[in-house]
């Protein structure tokens, strides 16, 4: 079993992602400052905001120290592990800023295509934004979830992105650390057609081995 969260999120990986986003953000801000005005300049500020917010989310998810700590305890005794607000809301903010930028570029592509400084990049961004619209509908309808693991007396619930699973303890076979694809905690489920659930390590501010232990302890307590 991996006992250190650092092996799940290697320093080189965190440094690469954060470094790239930091440089990309600085370059975007510098380029944007050189623009005069108009919708193209506004769209570039939107792209700069998206990159900066993505950088904040990456620092929160990849660089934040992961220490053992007591989770939120609900009135019914449930133990609740929730993704840090900084990670979740920075990602949502970056997404909305990118949608805003893509909308402006889409308008410019239709009305005055020649004003686009990088039409290829703009079109790729517009297509990416269009591809994310189904998730926007899920978000607005409450079907896109902030990563949350709840350990109740009668079972566990996990909600994260599109996943929403609630199972009784009798259907939970155990939990273990998964090192790749994605790195995190694999919760093994029994029952016909039941697939395992993977809780990503980057979504929480506690080490993966604590989540494994918490699931094991709650499962044993339910059997008493």
8 A C-beta contact, residue 218 and residue 12: no
* Model confidence pLDDT, tens digit, residues 18-30: 999 999 999 998 8
* Model confidence pLDDT, tens digit, residues 140-152: 999 999 999 999 9
Q: What is the pLDDT of residue 210?
A: 96
User: H helices of 35-149, where?
Assistant: 38-58, 85-111, 119-131, 133-140
Please return the burial class of 74, using the count of CB atoms within 10 Å of its CB with bins 0-12, 13-18 and 19+: exposed
Q: What is the pLDDT of residue 219?
A: 95
Please tell me what DSSP assigns to residue 169: G
Q: Does domain 145-223 have CATH number 2.30.29?
A: yes
- Give pLDDT < 50 ranges for the chain: 1-6
Q: By C-alpha distance, which of 164, 216, 209, 168 is closest to 189?
A: 168
What whole-number distance in Å separates Cα of residue 16 and Cα of residue 78? 37
Q: What is the pLDDT of residue 184?
A: 94
Q: What is the pLDDT of residue 2?
A: 46
Domain ranges of the chain: 5-68+84-140, 145-223
What whole-number distance in Å separates Cα of residue 28 and Cα of residue 39? 16
Regarding beta strands 72-73 and 79-82, do their DSSP bridges make them parallel or antiparallel, or are they unpaired?
Answer: antiparallel
What whole-number distance in Å separates Cα of residue 171 and Cα of residue 148? 19
Report residue 214 as tokens. Answer: 């918490």
8 A C-beta contact, residue 19 and residue 58: no
Q: What is the pLDDT of residue 5?
A: 44
Q: What is the pLDDT of residue 7?
A: 62
What whole-number distance in Å separates Cα of residue 125 and Cα of residue 112? 17
Model-level pTM? 0.89
Regarding beta strands 155-161 and 163-168, do their DSSP bridges make them parallel or antiparallel, or are they unpaired?
Answer: antiparallel
């Amino acid at each position: 079993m991996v006992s250190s969260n650092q092996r799940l999120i290697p320093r080189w990986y965190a440094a690469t992602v954060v470094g790239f986003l930091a440089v990309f953000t600085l370059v975007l801000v510098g380029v944007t400052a050189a623009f005069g005005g108009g919708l193209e300049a506004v769209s570039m500020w939107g792209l700069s905001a998206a990159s900066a917010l993505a950088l904040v989310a990456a620092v929160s998810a990849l660089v934040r120290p992961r220490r053992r700590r007591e989770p939120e305890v609900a009135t019914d005794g449930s133990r609740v592990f929730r993704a840090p607000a900084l990670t979740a809301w920075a990602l949502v903010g970056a997404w909305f800023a990118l949608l805003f930028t893509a909308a402006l570029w889409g308008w410019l592509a239709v009305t005055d295509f020649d004003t686009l400084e990088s039409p290829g990049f703009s079109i790729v961004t517009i297509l990416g934004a269009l591809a994310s619209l189904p998730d926007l509908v899920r978000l607005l309808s409450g079907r896109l979830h902030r990563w949350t693991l709840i350990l109740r007396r009668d079972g566990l619930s996990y909600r994260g992105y599109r996943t929403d699973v609630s199972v009784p303890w009798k259907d939970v076979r155990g939990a273990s650390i998964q090192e790749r694809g994605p790195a995190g905690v694999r919760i093994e489920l029994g029952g016909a057609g039941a697939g395992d659930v993977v809780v990503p390590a980057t979504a929480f501010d506690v080490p993966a081995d604590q989540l494994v232990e918490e699931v094991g302890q709650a499962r044993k307590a339910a059997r008493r």
